[in-house]
Structure 1
Amino acid sequence: MTAVLTETDTAPAAAGKQQRRRRASGRLAVVPLLVFVAIAFGIPALAMLNGAFTVEDQATGATSYTAANLTASLQGAYLTALVGSVKLSAVSAALATVLGLPLAQAVVTSRSRALREAVLTASGVLANFGGVPLAFAFVATLGNSGVLTRHLGLTGKGWNLYSFWGLVVVYLYFLVPLMVLTITPALDGLRSQWREAAQNNGATAFQYWRHVALPVLAPSLLGGLVLLFGSAFAAYATAAAMVGSAVPLVTLQIADAISGNVLVGQENVALALSLDMVLVAGLVMVVYLPLQRRSARWLA
């Protein structure tokens, strides 16, 4: 009897030790990831932060810490470029959200499994297709001497690919597929019982979407909008290859400042502009993560 009681009493202690060992092994498994993040992201971030607040005297070579670079990054042409990037990203993300939602809904409600897989696979490819190849494709198609531009006479109708709205059209090429990939899981989470209950109570399709589907999808839609904004805000190669300095963007200003195309010795101003971008991206993540958690709770 005593032995039985002893085994019973020691069982919780043994289970507790085993659980603590599992937790310790789990923490150790994360160490390589933390080391990689510290090396790949932490060191560059600290170097950028240090350079953004450092000014070098051209005469003596002495360095000092000041907020002059950050102040300069929020004035004049730099501020115009930052505002231009925010405006371009916001407009592109909003249009991609509006266009991507019905396309994703058509894919989700389609009875053809092959069509669904084909659209999602194509969206995965197109969402990552950018840079110089994308710029060249649009220049050859919709540029001043592009095939469609000459065939449809778009130049006489006021079309200009190398402008703000031309860049918006190019950005939609990879933002709409990204929206399809982002919102499709949320659309899959809409239960058919909700639609049936709405129809049984006399609701039309418009009323169902207005009062049931869209309120449930709102966190996912806003999260997708924020994600698209961040993707467009960080894009560089496509705009650099297509419009150059015709459209003021903060990524292009950073490249010009680093290469000395504007003024010599503006490298630290470029780091300050990069810090501005990091702050905007951080704000995007602060908004995106709570929306993602809320949408996951609704659609679980």
Structure 2
Amino acid sequence: MSSKPTFFRDNKRDAPRARPSSSGWRNWIVVVPFFLFAFLFILLPSVSLLLRAFRDNDNRFTLMNFVGLLDPSILSAYWVTIRISLATAVGGGLLGFLMAYAVTVGNLPRPIRTALMTFSGVASNFAGVPLAFAFIATLGRTGLVTLLLKSVLGVSLYDQGFNLYGFWGLTLTYMFFQFPLMILVITPALDGLKKEWREASENLGASHAMYLRKVAIPILMPSILGSMILLFGNSFGAYATAYSLTGGFINLVTIVIGSQIKGDILYNPGLGYALAIGMIAVMTAMMAIYYFLRRRSERWLRQ
């Protein structure tokens, strides 16, 4: 008696295909405010600046506003602004990186990290008139620290060459909100360092310094450079702090723009708009480099 194989038919039906969500348009509604904000406060002002930069005081087309950017005083303003931005980006970047490294990889107590991150969130937004007044009250000619050093140690900061209202004084003031910003932006990258990488290095006989030099720093370098570029842009566009601290006597691009647009003597709005276009060009280049470096760092930290 021959037995034939029995084939059992699966009576279960295939699961129906998932229909595309009909609420996709609702997701776009959520981001409409962002695009509206970007259009009203980024794109529209930029286009308006570009159009006004080609107009003179009589509202006639001209290229002299951009020719005026080659004036030695204007080039000096750009150079001073770039120098301050570089100094605060490098100084604030290094200080912020070391502090962030100490509370993340350095295994400091959790409350210290919480306190540092809270302080950084507040200090990174503490700028303008309040920050200028705080430094004047602390390190001004009659500031608390200045008088304390002179009465206790007999050291006069201003006799030693320090000047809060000059280049290095403004740089020191900017550092107050630069290094907290660095802490905020570099901490996620430090958290992305895997313990397995350090353990593998130690198992291969590498010291802690060698691990930093050969593994951690190369991985973090795009994030560090990108964060410093972000600090550069943050300092490059600052206006209220510098104006409140120095009274507008330091030759920064933002202060020159203000004097050209609303000044009584140096009134030339077209030149001010052209200066703003130059700042936008510099900031656009910085953000492009930052985006490129961020993509490089995410390639490692996502693994």
8 Å CA contact 1:163, 1:246 repeated in 2 = no
1:110, 1:116 within 8 Å by CA — same for their partners in 2? Answer: no
Instruction: Report the identity percentage.
Output: 41
Q: Following TM superposition, by how much is the alpha carbon of 1:25 offset from its aligned partner in structure 2, in angstroms?
A: 4.4
Residue ranges of structure 1 left out of the alignment (5+ in a row): 58-62
1:215 to 195, 218, 221: 218
AA in 2 matched with 1:125: V
Spell out the pairing of 1:84-99 with structure 2 (5 A cutoff). 84-99=80-95
- 1:83 Cα deviation after fit: 1.4
The equivalences for 1:16-165 within 5 A come to 18=20, 21=22, 23-57=24-58, 63-108=59-104, 109-152=106-149, 153-165=156-168
Find the residue that maps to 2:163 and give its secondary structure. coil
**CA deviations over 1:83-103 (Å, ceiling 9, x no partner):** 111111011101111111111
* Aligned AA (2:136): V
Partner amino acid, structure 2, of 1:131: G
1:155 partner SS: coil
In the alignment, is the contact (CA less than 8 A) between 1:85 and 1:249 conserved in 2? yes
Equivalent-residue separation in structure 2 for 1:143 and 1:232 (angstroms): 22
* SS at structure 1 position matched to 2:125: coil
Aligned counterparts of 1:53 and 1:276: Cα–Cα separation in 2: 13
Aligned partner of residue 183 in structure 1, secondary structure: helix
| Residue 22 of structure 1: how far off its partner (Å) | 5.0
Asked if structure 2 preserves the Cα contact closer than 8 Å seen for 1:88 and 1:168, the reply is yes
The equivalent of 2:285 in structure 1 is: 283
- Separation in 2, partners of 1:260, 1:29: 42
RMSD over aligned CA atoms reads: 2.1
Q: Which residue of 2 aligns with 1:176?
A: 179
Instruction: Structure 2 unaligned segments of length 5 or more: list them.
Output: 1-9, 150-155
In structure 2, do the counterparts of structure 1 residues 282 and 189 end up closer, same or farther at CA, with 3 Å as the change threshold? same
Question: How do 1:246-261 residues align onto structure 2 when only pairs under 5 Å count?
Answer: 246-261=249-264
Structure 1 residue 39, shift from structure 2 partner: 2.4
Cα distance in structure 2, aligned partners of 1:34 and 1:137: 37
Alpha-carbon separation, structure 1, partners of 2:265 and 2:110: 54
Q: Could you report, residue by residue, the CA deviation over 1:5-29 in whole angstroms, capped at 9, with x for unpaired residues?
A: xx969x55xx4x615x455544454
Shift of 1:148: 1.5
C-alpha separation in 2, matches of 1:284 and 1:26:
31
Relative distance call for 1:163 and 1:205 in structure 2 (3 A) is: same
Higher-Rg structure is 2
With over 3 angstroms needed to count, the CA separation of the structure-2 counterparts of 1:28 and 1:135, relative to structure 1, is: closer
TM-score, normalised by the number of residues in structure 2:
0.87
Cα drift, residue 245 of structure 1: 3.6
Letter of the 2:237 counterpart: A
8 Å Cα contact 1:101/1:180 also seen in 2:
yes
Does the 8 A contact of 2:57 with 2:269 survive in 1? no
2:103–2:113 Cα contact (<8 Å) kept: yes
User: Contact 2:102–2:108 at 8 Å: present in 1 too?
Assistant: no
Query: How many residues are aligned here?
Result: 285
What SS does the corresponding residue of 2:251 show, helix, strand or coil? coil
2:242 to 239, 242, 256: 239
Between Structure 1 and Structure 2, which shows a larger proportion of helix residues?
Answer: 1
Residues 1:28 and 1:155: Cα distance change in structure 2 (over 3 Å): closer
**Amino acid of the residue matched to residue 54 of structure 1?**
R
Matched with 2:231 is 228
Identify the residue that residue 270 of structure 2 maps to in structure 1: 268
The offset of 1:42, in angstroms, is 2.5
State TM-score, norm by structure 1.
Answer: 0.88
